[in-house]
Amino acid sequence: MDLHNGHWSHRVGEPASDPLVTRTPHCGHSASDSTCHLLVSSSDLEVKIPTVNGIVSIDGMVVPAGEARVSVFDRGFLYGDSVYEVVRTYDLALFELGLHLARLASSAERIALSLPWTADRFDREVRRVVEASREADAPDPAAAPWNLGECSVRIVVTRGSGELGLDPGLAVEPTVVLIAVPLRGPPLAAYREGVAAWPFGGPGAPRRGGDPAAKTGEHLFHVLAVREARAHGAQEALLLDGAGSVTEGASSNVFAVRGGALETPPLGVGILAGVTRAVVLDIAGRLGIPVRERPLPLAGLESADEAFLTSTVREVLPVVRVGDRPIGPAAPGPVTRRIHAAFREAAGGGHKPGKAPASV
């Protein structure tokens, strides 16, 4: 079987040996044409798609998750040539969507990817998939109460499909994929008891690639970091720079608490400008909690009074162990709890700030 002009073909008399073909594909040829061009549709293929409850929009077309298809020639699939964001809901109202869309545009600009939609179009389409995903899953009895019935939306923009090759100019036009699924945040017990984090990287370790200030699909370094963390029973990986300082989590920002003040690495060390990080810094200012943005050596984090992670799905998650060392009394501390309570109050029901929030 050969590939001719983007269509699979086989020679007449040659068996179609592709194991994914489950029935004889339609084909046609004339007596003067010895090549038979196979017309393969999605119903001809045994596509390996996990069972996922959710709704997907591909370039504005909304379909169930199990029916979503993207070309194997898409550069996001082949090279990680894409940008993305993850937003969540409270009472099915989107939280800080504007900040996420602004960061999506910034990431795209940093990798010279032209977004095909305006911010208003992204806003409308994201809200459309959220509406379509209502009641997509049964409640999780272990979930934190503020996550029950909520969803998260991954916004992905790839450079698009084209001929094989690293040259970005081969892409024809960008692809936009929106994936709305039931929100799977940490269980309530994680907020009450805290979680463990594992350091990854440091002097002599493989270096991460790409621009850390752009949220792109280039994730192998982060995947390997999380793999090592999980192998050591930790819930998050802490990424270390060449000097051995903590920069950020694999999918979170990192805070230490010392003497009642927050310490967190500055953006200048090469980290993503987290949306939840920015909300927490604003909350700390309103609460009168001092903030020191400066490099955070691993030893400094290990000796902190408290520590926590921030991200869209995690909100403010206490860390009680880093590597093999306990943080403080190995329990969520008062400053972390105060920050999270204020965040919960601000988030409320998303569109209803100040709504009485569920507590830890």
pLDDT in tens, 11-31: 333 343 333 333 333 333 334
What are 209-268's pLDDT values in tens digits?
788 899 999 999 999 999 999 999 999 999 999 889 999 999 999 999 999 999 999 999
Number of compact structural domains in the chain: 3
Pairwise CA distance, residues 217 & 79, whole Å: 8
pLDDT tens string 198-212: 999 877 776 777 888
**Inter-axis angle of helices 334-347 and 275-287, nearest 10:** 110
Q: Are residues 30 and 76 in the same domain?
A: no
Task: Provide the angle, in degrees to the nearest 10, between the axes of the packed helices 97-110 and 119-132.
Answer: 120
- The residues facing 282 across adjacent strands are none
Average pLDDT over all residues of the chain = 85
pLDDT at 350 over 80: no
d(CA 153, CA 230): 25
Cβ atoms < 10 Å from Cβ of 357: 21
* Residue 65, in any domain of the structure: yes
Query: From residue 116, how far is each of 122, 155, 172, 177, 213 by CA, in Å?
Result: 10, 13, 12, 12, 21
* Both structure tokens of 294: 């400066």
Specify whether 176 is located in the same domain as 193.
no
Does residue 101 lie within any of the structural domains? yes
Tell me, yes or no, whether 34 and 86 share the same domain.
Answer: no
Distance CA 154, CA 173 (A): 20
pLDDT at 18: 38
User: What pLDDT digit, counting tens, does each position of 277-320 carry?
Assistant: 999 999 999 999 999 999 999 999 999 999 999 999 999 999 99
Indicate if 71 and 99 belong to the same structural domain: yes
Domain containing residue 11: 2-44
pLDDT value of residue 345: 92
Confidence of residue 69 (pLDDT cuts 50, 70, 90): very high
Higher pLDDT, 125 or 14: 125
Residue 322 and residue 208 share a domain? yes
Shared-domain flag, residues 146 and 69: yes
Strand 306-311 and strand 315-322: the pairing is antiparallel
State yes or no: pLDDT of 357 exceeds 80.
no
Residue 354 located in a structural domain: no
Given a cut of 50, whether residue 10 has pLDDT beyond it is no
